[in-house]
């Protein structure tokens, strides 16, 4: 009889030195593997106030030339206590020759982004290739993201947004630290 709950034979790796070995095309981005947590600030001209948030971001791979990406944010009050869940998103970052990146990222707010860009040593820049919206999603026309590994345990992130009739401009900036969590 077959095992009713077999273990997945190809688990994801969260570190470059963990099996399976990263695909050669992942080389510029193996420093991102793992789980990151930190704080950021955000705003937009349509919002009355700036906001503070915390975020957990995870990158993993299964030996093929793409990263699994997941990010969950929550808002913070003025004492840094959690206020409420905020944006979350997940997707796939497909690595191509010469460090080209194609990313597919979806959000529960009804937004699906396809971004293209490039990866250098510890740096990734992505901008919108196509944006798809569900019928009730807010109007978002473009985004631009930059991730920088400023040292091997620090990841900074900036995110510009063109939405609700506003031109592309700052929405988020954060600094994340590597955690031990897989």
Q: Is 25 in the site for ligand HEM (CB under 6 A)?
A: no
Residue 17 preceded by cis peptide, ω within 30 = no
- The contacts of residue 151 (CB under 8 Å, 6+ apart) are none
Q: Is 51 in the site for ligand HEM (CB under 6 A)?
A: yes
Q: Is 73 in the site for ligand HEM (CB under 6 A)?
A: yes
Whether 179 has a binding-site annotation, put simply, is no
Instruction: Give the single-character DSSP code of 43.
Output: -
Neighbours of 79 (CB within 10 A): 6
Compute the residue count for the chain.
182
Show the site string, 131-160: x = touches ligand HEM by CB under 6 A, - = not.
-------x-x--x-----------------
Q: Is 101 in the site for ligand HEM (CB under 6 A)?
A: no
Smallest distance from ligand HEM to CB 89, Å: 6
Whether 128 has a binding-site annotation, put simply, is no
Smallest distance from ligand HEM to CB 79, Å: 17
Structure token pair of residue 24: 């050669």
- The contacts of residue 67 (CB under 8 Å, 6+ apart) are 26, 29, 32, 33, 59, 60, 61, 92, 93, 95
Residues tagged in the binding site annotation for heme b = 46, 138, 171
Binding interface with ligand HEM (CB under 6 A):
42, 44, 46-47, 51, 53, 55, 73, 75, 86-87, 89, 107, 111, 138, 140, 143, 161, 163-164, 171-172
């Amino acid at each position: 009889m077959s095992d009713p709950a077999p273990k997945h034979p190809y688990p994801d790796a969260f570190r470059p030195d963990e099996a399976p070995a990263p695909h050669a095309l992942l080389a510029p981005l193996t420093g991102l593997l793992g789980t990151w947590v930190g704080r950021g600030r955000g705003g937009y001209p349509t919002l009355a106030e700036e906001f503070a948030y915390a975020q957990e971001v995870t990158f993993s791979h299964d030996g093929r030339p793409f990263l699994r990406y997941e990010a969950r944010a929550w808002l913070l009050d003025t004492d840094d206590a959690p206020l409420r869940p905020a944006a979350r998103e997940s997707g796939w970052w497909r690595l191509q020759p010469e460090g080209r990146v194609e990313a597919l990222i979806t959000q529960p707010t009804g937004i699906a982004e396809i971004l293209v860009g490039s990866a250098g040593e510890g740096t990734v820049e992505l901008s919108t290739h196509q944006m798809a919206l569900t019928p009730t999603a807010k109007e978002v026309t473009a985004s631009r993201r930059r991730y920088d590994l400023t040292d091997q345990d620090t990841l900074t992130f900036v995110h510009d947004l063109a939405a609700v009739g506003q031109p592309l401009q700052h929405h988020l900036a954060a600094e994340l630290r590597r955690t031990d969590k897989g």
